Amino acid sequence: MSRFREALAAPGLRAIAEVKRRSPSAGDLRPDADPGRLAAEFASAGAGAVSILVDSRFGGSVDDLRVARAATSAPLLAKGFFREDRELDGLEEAGADAVLLLLRDLDDRRAAGMLARAEELGLDALVEAHDAVELARAVELGAEVIGINARDLDTFEVDRRAALELVASAPPDRVIVAESGVGARAHGAEAELAGADAILVGSALMRAPDPAAKLRELLARPLVKICGLTREEDVAVAADAGADLAGFILARETPRRAPSVLPVPNTMLSVAVYVGERGDAPSDLAQLYARENGHRARDGVLFRGDEQVAYVVDRAWQEDDPEHIERARVAEGRIVLAGALTAENVGEAIEVVRPWAVDVSSSLELAPGIKDHDRVRAFVEAVR
């Protein structure tokens, strides 16, 4: 397996961090960007690979690729609008491990020829699709790494929802990269749950005061879910504190029952929480517990649509459970850790379990369903 593909196929959500000075849609982003410094900083911040714009329309050049290669050993993607075989010549020598091929600009004959030429040169290809037809073409062409771009390159509009459905429909034996529109941890998590192996992030990093710190933020785990929300003002405080998931309990037996799945800001995902039977309230995710002896079971399942995407390890209601952390530690797959977490104990729990997300509700309350805003902020800060 090549370095580029291997880096993106590693466990967990990976990232291709992009260096670009400007874009046709946004104009100048970071005109003075130093590709060497940024590439090195991105690699240190956890990037699986670094994308270097080599097209003058983005303020880039092949010299930027050379500078980045001198600064880091991370896999490098040469990104441009390549339409001819000869345009790939020299990129590997300049430091590229992979090249971008946009199916929007290439018919199948030309795309196949350029894939073959890239292989001859020792380069991987990130084959980019924008719709279901292009995704099917990428699969038929045998592309091993497929990018699904949420941005329409004609209108520059971003439709993350449509792109994520394409991600979810992609074959699991390909490495799938979700591109464009990623500006918050929740966006990356949403792509991950849809089946993306990696995200490609450019503009959000280039606009940030500290691009490497922004990358760390996007990749940070665990996510934070504030559950038992019943009021819009509490949702707003949770979002402002930096929480990623907003949980709304719709089960009949709890005093924390929400009136509905309330609106959440773009930086969060909504989670409808059910006991016994799953309802159909509109939400990004659903969390389901079995009902046992009139109460919810200790553990649950997190769904994206009809697909189970994580396992929730929780304590039995109103019972001390000394084996709680050990059960979570040995569980496989994505783990959402819940059960009497507080700002004081969550750090130790994270260190032992390494969960994908932490889920907290009653310990942050003034009364059932009413959050203490200071405790919400303190909890999120303790996780971060």
Catalytic positions are 18, 20, 79, 128, 149, 179-180
Residue whose token pair is 């009949």: 252
Helix (H) or strand (E) holding 239: helix 232-241
Could you give the count of Cα atoms lying within 13 Å of 61 in the half-sphere of its Cβ? 4
Tokens of 154: 């004609």
> 362-365 contacts: CB < 8 A, separation 24 or more?
362/228, 362/256, 364/226, 365/228
Helix, coil or strand: residue 202: coil
CA distances from 342 to 44, 95, 221, 328, 359 (A): 31, 48, 17, 17, 10
Start-to-end CA span in the chain (Å): 34
Q: What is the DSSP string of 299-368?
A: EEEEEETTEEEEEEE-PPTT---TTHHHHHHH--SSEEEESS--TTTHHHHHHHH--SEEEE-GGGEEET
Q: Cα 319 vs. chain centroid, distance in angstroms? A: 35
Sign of the Cα pseudo-torsion (18, 24, 27, 32, in order): positive
Amino acid found at 40: A
Cβ atoms within 10 Å, residue 256:
20
Can you read off the two tokens belonging to residue 59?
């303020």
The C-alpha torsion from 132 through 136 and 137 to 139, rounded to 10°, is 140
Closest of 86, 81, 76 to residue 102, by C-alpha? 81
d(CA 112, CA 131): 19
Number of Cβ atoms within 10 Å of the Cβ of 310: 21
